[in-house]
């Protein structure tokens, strides 16, 4: 009887170990997927940061041009 209990316990422990090993393998796969997503997101952030800088530079140029146009506007133009 004791031998049967030990065999059953060994079988249960073996099944548990396989479940844990499978879960660990799945977790590692998920980790790699998340790392790939993170790398892609970092690339997107870098690209968008560059685009934002270009837009900000263009915005400043437009604001400067607008200021120049307003300053050059003749007083008689305001009445039209």
pTM over 0.75? The answer is no
pLDDT tens digits, 38-52:
999 999 999 999 999
Tokens of 73: 């506007």
pLDDT tens digits, 2-22:
999 999 999 999 999 999 999
DSSP 18-77: HHHHHHHHHHHHHHHHHHHHHHHHHHHHHHHHHHHHHHHHHHHHHHHHHHHHHHH--GGG
């Amino acid at each position: 009887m004791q031998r049967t209990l030990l065999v059953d316990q060994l079988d249960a422990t073996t099944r548990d170990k396989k479940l844990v090993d499978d879960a660990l393998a799945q977790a590692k796969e998920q980790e790699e997927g998340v790392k790939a997503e993170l790398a892609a997101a970092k690339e997107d952030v870098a690209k968008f940061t560059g685009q934002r800088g270009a837009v900000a530079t263009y915005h400043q140029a437009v604001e400067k041009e607008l200021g120049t146009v307003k300053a050059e506007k003749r007083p008689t133009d305001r009445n039209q």
